[in-house]
């Protein structure tokens, strides 16, 4: 199922269709502000600044599911990311990525060939092609700069 078929909630709770990103390369990430991987925001922002003019978007979904590492309101999380890491990419309402309350978007991203592979931790990154289909999944330990070549390839560079 294409990611463009999903709707998500903005930080303010407004429903947003991911169809608005049709034709773009997406990096969808579950994040947290109090995680050991939080400094990856710097690398994510660097990739965003470098490629956003070429049809690349990062979609940030805070998740408090792993040891409550994304405490605070959506507004507090946004302020932290903007002030600390100067992030400019879209951030959405907090989601769950595993379990019965998991976001349907993440259930879709985690299901490949009929097999579900749950998200292990914050900063799991999903690279989605211009057609809305999953290209690659990068676990939290993989730094943003380590898969820049995959982004370039997806952009047709």
> pLDDT digits over 27-46, tens only?
999 999 999 999 999 999 99
Q: What is residue 153's three-state secondary structure?
A: helix
Strand ranges for the chain from DSSP E: 7-9, 15-17, 25-31, 56-62, 111-112, 115-116, 125-128, 134-138
Q: Which domains does the chain have, with CATH numbers?
A: 30-155 (3.40.30.10)
- The full 3-state SS of 110-124, as one line of letters, equals HEECCEECCCCCCCC
Q: Tell me: pLDDT of 69 over 90.
A: no
Q: Annotated active-site positions, please?
A: 35
Chain CA centroid to CA 99, Å: 18
Q: What is the pTM of this model?
A: 0.96
Strand partners, 59: 28
What are the tokens at 56?
A: 């690349």
Q: Tell me: pLDDT of 100 over 90.
A: yes
Q: How high does pLDDT run on average in the chain?
A: 96
Q: Tell me: pLDDT of 1 over 90.
A: no
Phi, psi of 35 (to 5 degrees): -110, 155
């Amino acid at each position: 199922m294409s990611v463009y078929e999903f709707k998500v909630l903005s930080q303010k709770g407004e429903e947003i269709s991911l169809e608005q990103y049709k034709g773009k390369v997406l990096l969808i990430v579950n994040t947290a502000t109090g995680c050991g991987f939080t400094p990856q925001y710097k690398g994510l922002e660097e990739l965003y600044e470098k490629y956003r003019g070429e049809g690349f978007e990062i979609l940030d979904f805070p998740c408090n599911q792993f040891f409550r590492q994304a405490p605070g309101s959506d507004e507090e999380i946004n302020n932290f990311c903007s002030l600390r890491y100067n992030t400019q990419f879209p951030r959405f309402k907090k989601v769950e990525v595993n379990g019965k309350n998991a976001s349907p978007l993440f259930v879709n991203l985690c299901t490949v060939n009929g097999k579900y592979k749950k998200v292990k931790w914050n900063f799991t990154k999903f690279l989605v092609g211009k057609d809305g289909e999953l290209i690659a999944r990068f676990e939290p330990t993989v730094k943003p700069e380590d898969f820049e070549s995959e982004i370039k390839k997806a952009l047709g560079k």
